[in-house]
Amino acid sequence: MSGTYNQGGEGAPIEHADQLAAYLAAGCKPRDAFRIGTEHEKFGFALEDHTPIPYAGEGPSVKKMLEGLIRFGWERVEEDGKLVALKRDSASITLEPGGQFELSGAPLETVHQTCAEVNLHLSEVREVADEIGAGFLGLGFSPKWSLEETPMMPKARYGLMKAYMPKVGTMGHQMMFRSCTVQTNLDFSSEADMVKKFRVSLALQPLATALFANSPFKDGQLNGYLSYRGHVWTDTDRNRTGMLPFVFDEGMSFQRYVDWVLDVPMYFVKRGGKYLDATGQSFRDFLDGRLPALPGEKPVISDWEDHIGTMFPEVRLKTFLEMRGADSGPWNTLCALPAFWVGLLYDDTALDAAWDLVKGWSADQRDGMRLAAAVHGMRAGYDGDRSMQDLAKEVLAISRAGLNARARLNNYGENEAHFLDDLDEIAASGVTRADQLIERFKGEWKGSIEPVFTECAY
């Protein structure tokens, strides 16, 4: 849920409905302009007592973290006079509802560069965190703190979402305040290229959930899932989440995605830096000047951009495709996720091979894989007696071939494929990071959650 910085009501007025699809189509770019954007979230905590860090206060706080990072050339972003984000070049640091710290990385050319960006960010965060007595966790779900113990960040849109979530699902607050993810944003060259990449990445998102499963704890105990974050998304708000079966229908296009987005209820409209409550209202009515939140007013492009940004399917289409199925995790996984998807989607031979693999799957099969991956990880079945582990080996081989074909080398002559090594180990052993944490919790940790604050800290 990356933040946006427009004041609302900006950009060209929307005069015709075809401008909505044109907004998405404007993302088409030549292959040599393809870039990689990586986002990841992490939980902040106080080193002294392992409590979540509040927005402000005398002890370690989110505000002190943001203020401390300014020394590295980050610029302030405020809302109602409160520091809520930072910008530097094309990157940003934003806050999720419960204070989860998110880096939205710059669009970069290679996985080597995005991994270096992550490494620099974590070193900057660590320097400031050490000074104020804070630490950060690389997990997909809050391991210990209840909703009541989790702070809420001072951003108006989160107040609107918090009030709305219980009306549309049972786990929206869990998603907002207690989950963390790592995501990758990738480009497309044409509508046909978008459709093919959308289909392949949607079909394989459950595999990413399984490979990156890293959220087996809740309230200090095992929660019965390997990716509890993945489970939470199954009942957050079914209007705007899930596997989008229409993407696989004949005639899938930018316009078809627009039609879906128009049928998803709104959250807000932004005017003059203020969020106006539009929860449950219709963007179609907005187009006709009949939005109750702004009677008589029609939307501009920034309103459409904001609305599209409140869609949360497993793969989200903006002017790029956003892969959303993975738990956040340790440093190496923050580099492995972009490598996994770049290998599959940025080489035509690999993309064809991946499509051949998934094109026969039904909507029920894809949904079943999504549910099973959150529970069983590599042990989840997906096709008769075949398991997610079998699928992982096959798909990782395709991704590795795609990265080898890209042949983007670092200063040591290595291409991007080495970032898949840890995933290959998971596929070979069938043991995810969540499985490892469960074993340690039952064994050497003796049922205590406290070691997680050392073992899973950055």
Please write down the HEC assignment for all residues of the chain: CCCCCCCCCCCCECCCCHHHHHHHHCCCCCHHHCCEEEEEEEEEEECCCCCECCCCCCCCCHHHHHHHHHHHCCEEEEECCEEEEEEECCEEEEECCCCCEEEECCCECCHHHHHHHHHHHHHHHHHHHHHHCEEEECCCECCCCCCCCCCCCCCHHHHHHHHHHHHCCCCHHHHHHHECEEEEEECCCCHHHHHHHHHHHHHHHHHHHHHCCCECEECCEECCCCEHHHHHHHHCCCCCEECCHHHHCCCCCHHHHHHHHHCCCCCEEEECCEEEECCCCCHHHHHCCCCCCCCCCCCEHHHHHHHHCCCEECEEECCCEEEEEEECCCHHHHHHHHHHHHHHHCCHHHHHHHHHHHCCCCHHHHHHHHHHHHHHHHHCEEECCEEHHHHHHHHHHHHHHHHHHHCCCCCCCCCHHHHHHHHHHHHHHCCCHHHHHHHHHHCCCCCCCCCHHHHCEC
The mean per-residue pLDDT over the stretch 53-81 comes to 98
Residue 327 to residue 180: CA distance in whole angstroms: 6
Across 212-236, average pLDDT? 98
pLDDT at 2: 41
Of 105, 109, 113, 90, the C-alpha closest to 29 is: 109
Q: Give the pLDDT confidence of 411-448 residue by residue, as tens digits.
A: 999 999 999 999 999 999 999 999 999 999 999 999 99
What percent of the chain shows pLDDT beyond 90? 95
Is residue 190 predicted with pLDDT exceeding 50?
Answer: yes
Report residue 384's pLDDT band, with 50, 70 and 90 as the boundaries: confident
pLDDT tier for residue 296 given thresholds of 50, 70 and 90: very high
Q: What length does the chain have?
A: 458
**Average pLDDT for residues 11-36, to the nearest whole number?**
95
Q: Output the pLDDT for position 8.
A: 58
pLDDT score recorded for residue 61: 98
- What does the mean pLDDT of the chain come to? 96
What's the whole-number mean pLDDT along residues 288-307? 97
Positive or negative, the Cα torsion across 391, 339, 4, 301? negative
pLDDT for res 10: 75
Between CA 177 and CA 246 the distance in angstroms is 30
- Across the range 267-275, mean pLDDT stands at 94
Q: Return d(Cα 384, Cα 404) in angstroms, integer.
A: 31
Band of residue 273 on the pLDDT scale cut at 50, 70, 90 = confident
Q: Mean of the pLDDT values across residues 15-39?
A: 97
pLDDT at 177: 98
Q: Which residues partner with 204 through β-bridges?
A: none
pLDDT at residue 12 in the model: 78
Query: Whose CA is closest to 335, among 38, 176, 76, 115?
Result: 115
Q: What is the pLDDT of residue 253?
A: 98
Q: Where does the pLDDT of residue 9 fall: very low under 50, low under 70, confident under 90, or very high at 90 and above?
A: low
pLDDT band for position 3 (50/70/90)? very low
Share of the chain above pLDDT 70, in %: 98
- Torsion, Cα 103 109 115 116, to 10 degrees, reads -90
Per-residue pLDDT tens digits for 313-360 = 999 999 999 999 999 999 999 999 999 999 999 999 999 999 999 999
Residue 448 pLDDT: 98
pLDDT, tens only, 303-322: 999 999 999 999 999 999 99
Q: Is the pLDDT of residue 372 over 90?
A: yes
Q: Is the pLDDT of residue 1 over 70?
A: no
pLDDT of residue 219: 98
Model confidence at 6: pLDDT above 70: no
